[in-house]
Amino acid sequence: MKEKLFIPYPPSGYTTEKSIEESSSYYNFMDKRRSVREYSNQPVDKSVIENIIMTASSAPSGAHKQPWTFCAVSDPAIKSEIRKGAEQEEYENYHGRMSETWLKDLAPLGTDWNKPFLEIAPWLIIMFRKSYDMENGQKKKNYYVQESVGIAAGFLISAIHHAGLVTLTHTPSPMNFLGKILGRPDNEKPFLLLPVGYPANDAMVPDLTRKPSEEVLIWH
């Protein structure tokens, strides 16, 4: 059996006080994050997009298989094609697929089937989950794919916010059109579509509050 190599993991050296300070600072920073639907067309440097995607790719995954692919799209023609496909699916959702309860829950957010941000935002990042890998023509199993890609999505959203940018977790359902437009292989299925950029100068977001700790945290 091939020996697995290990390397030392350096501790942070944080004191308790430093850990409290850093965790509080990060919480307050992330609590300012919002889903934004109104974007500026201000360019975002390609290196920023690469950095945030590679941050996402540093996420833990089942058996370290890293079962994801990120497509970063800035080509206006491709963005236009993606918008057309997304709006077609969303129109069907808002006009028959979604239940009345679902539509009622969405109403305060002011959403509809129109998705102009898919063309206005300078970048679209499409996450694909890889149910298996192909090596020398053979299928290689991946593990905990949904969970692994979900964790990577969280890393990605945090990295976007940390870079001073905004995003929106867009999931037009079904999303198979994304694989066709981007020419992805059969083992990759679209997981999430995220517009990425700077907010428009007059961007507005719903006035929301998040659940307090007593509603989401249970101590044992």
Residue 12 has pLDDT above 90, yes or no: yes
Q: Would residue 23 count as lying in a domain? A: no
**Which pLDDT value is given to residue 2?**
63
| Confidence class for position 176, pLDDT limits 50, 70, 90 | very high
> The CATH number of the domain where 110 resides is what?
3.40.109.10
Q: Would residue 6 count as lying in a domain? A: no
162: Cβ contacts below 8 Å, ≥ 6 apart = 29, 52
Q: Would residue 20 count as lying in a domain? A: no
Q: Would residue 115 count as lying in a domain? A: yes
CA–CA distance, 191 with 146 (Å, rounded to integer): 9
Residue 157 has pLDDT above 70, yes or no: yes
Residue 1 has pLDDT above 60, yes or no: no
Task: Compute and round to an integer the Cα radius of gyration of the chain.
Answer: 20
Q: b/e string for 102-127 if b means 16 or more Cβ within 10 A?
A: eeeeeeeeeeeeebebbbbbbbbbbb
Mean pLDDT of 72-89: 96
Torsion of CA 209, 211, 213, 218, to 10 degrees: -170
| Strand segments (E) across 4-162 | 68-73, 123-130, 132-135, 138-141
Please name the helix (run of DSSP H) or strand (run of DSSP E) that holds residue 88, with its range, or none: helix 76-92
Q: Would residue 188 count as lying in a domain? A: yes
Report percent pLDDT > 70 for the chain: 99
Q: Would residue 214 count as lying in a domain? A: no
State which residues form the domain around 159.
Answer: 38-197
DSSP-derived letter for residue 212 is P
48: nearest Cα among 154, 160, 169, 170: 160
User: Three-state DSSP class for 117?
Assistant: helix
Q: Would residue 84 count as lying in a domain? A: yes
Mean pLDDT of 59-66: 97
**Which pLDDT value is given to residue 111?**
86
**Which pLDDT value is given to residue 189?**
96
Residue 179 has pLDDT above 90, yes or no: yes
**Ranges 3-7, 8-12, 79-83, most confident:** 79-83
**Which pLDDT value is given to residue 167?**
98
Across the chain, what does the average pLDDT equal? 95
**Which pLDDT value is given to residue 65?**
97
Q: Name which of 56-65, 93-102, 203-212 the model is least confident about.
A: 93-102
The answer to whether 86 and 170 are in contact (CB under 8 A) is yes
Domain count, the chain: 1
Mean pLDDT of 68-97: 94
> Quick one: tokens of 24?
């509080």
Q: Would residue 149 count as lying in a domain? A: yes
Residue 153 has pLDDT above 70, yes or no: yes
Please name the helix (run of DSSP H) or strand (run of DSSP E) that holds residue 186, with its range, or none: none
